[in-house]
Amino acid sequence: MMKANSDLANKGIEQILELSVDAHVLRRGTFQGSPEFHKLTREIATCGKALALFRGLQQQEKFYAGIGRCEGPPALHLVR
């Protein structure tokens, strides 16, 4: 059960990183201060927040696995 949640979190992290990289590349090709530049900056910031969320879920899973609870908290079972 824990492995399935970890795999899902890892896949989510990979996809978010790909989106972030794409946004960084596009932003480098735009004029600083343009509306597109600011849009991409917000997208990059959103990716960072999503990464922090997934990283927190991973740490929570490790914590519960470390204390011997294989199932983890109920909130982790919502992400399937």
CB burial string 4-41: b at 16+ within 10 A, e below: ebeeebeebbeebeeebeebeeebeeeeeeeeebeebe
Q: Which two tokens stand for residue 17?
A: 């990183």
Nearest to 63 by CA among 2, 16, 4, 1: 2
Q: What string of pLDDT tens digits covers the 80 residues of the chain?
A: 445 566 778 888 999 999 999 999 999 999 999 999 999 999 999 999 999 998 888 888 877 777 775 555 555 555 54
The whole-angstrom distance between residue 29's C-alpha and the CA centroid of its chain comes to 25
Dig out the tokens for 38 from the structure.
Answer: 């600011």
